[in-house]
Amino acid sequence: MKHNNVHLIYFSPTGTTRKIINAVAEGLNPEQVNCYDLTYPIEKTEQNIVDGIAVIGVPVYAGRVPKDCLERMAYYKAHNVPTVLIALYGNREFEDALVELRDIAITQGFNVIAAGAFIGEHSYSTPERPIAAGRPNGEDLSLAVKFGQEIAAKIELNDFNTPEIDGNVPYKERVKFGGVAPETDADICILCGRCAEVCPVRVITVSNAVTTQAENCIMCSACVKICPVEARPFNHPVIKERRELLIKNCSTAKRPKIFL
């Protein structure tokens, strides 16, 4: 059976979360897909989702839902709409992100009927120092499509129960970001402005040079990955150390985990 509308609500600075929710939507096989992109600053007006199925996707930042994403989600309300939650993580752990997302979603009126933790290339992965490079891969995407089909089957059975989801309440303490940001190599930069366009928190200004307000940077790496000439390497000592730790401890490929 076709479900008329699927509403995709997501925050995805480097695009891996977006890939998975698109695949889940494909499995749900809707007639229409509506996208609500929370990656960039949004209009601060309340949005009401009243029909169809919602799919909410977020990346995991330090085991939690990114703060800016939570603030933007607060404008989204629903009336008991069956909802799928997706947490995308960089092959370390998703920890409390999915239960945090569940609690927010329920508070906003979404009815959580399924959830999944999927793996995406880590924001700090580089071609030389890869971490979950190329994820989600073909197998991840097939699993996400299959997950969407299973959710559609659950809905067919009129089963709208909220599954048990891995994670702890109270959630692990939120890590504060800020003060560390990618820097532009002025010798390579062509001042195209793509970095500023994709910054979720608008801390980059491009004129005859690129400036970055590091104190408000969320370290998402959107600017690093979009740069067409690789002029924004993220090689701050904090990130370099983190990258090496991830390579040392998190190189065994994890598999998606679903809760249905």
* Least gap, CB of 177 to ligand FMN (angstroms): 6
Q: Give the Cα separation of 1 and 3 in Å (integer).
A: 7
Per CB under 6 A, contacts with ligand FMN among 121-180 are 122-123, 177
Q: Report the residue closest to ligand FMN, judged by CB.
A: 120
As measured in angstroms, the least distance from the Cβ of 118 to ligand FMN is: 8
Q: Where are the beta strands (DSSP E) in 43-91?
A: 47-49, 53-59, 76-78, 81-89
Interface with ligand FMN, residue 256, by CB under 6 A: no
Q: With beta carbons less than 8 A apart as the criterion, state whether 105 and 135 touch.
A: no
Cα–Cα dist 83/55, whole Å: 6
Q: How far is the CB of 198 from ligand FMN (least distance, A)?
A: 10
**Residue 136: cis peptide before it, omega within 30 degrees of 0:** yes
Residue among 27, 30, 63, 148 that touches ligand FMN (CB under 6 A): 63
Residues in 209-228 at the binding interface with ligand FMN, rule: CB under 6 A: 219-221
Candidates 6, 8, 14, 49; binder of ligand FMN (CB under 6 A) is 14
Amino acid present at 214: A
3-state DSSP percent of the chain in helix, strand and coil, to 5:
30, 20, 50
Residue from 26, 33, 42, 62 binding ligand FMN (CB under 6 A): 62
Size of the site for ligand FMN (CB under 6 A): 24
The least CB distance from residue 215 to ligand FMN, in Å, is 15
C-beta separation of 165 from 115 below 8 A: yes
Q: How far apart are CA 102 and CA 20, in angstroms?
A: 18
Q: State which of positions 78-107 bind ligand FMN (CB under 6 A).
A: 88-93
The binding site for ligand FMN (CB under 6 A) comprises: 12-17, 59-63, 88-93, 120, 122-123, 177, 219-221
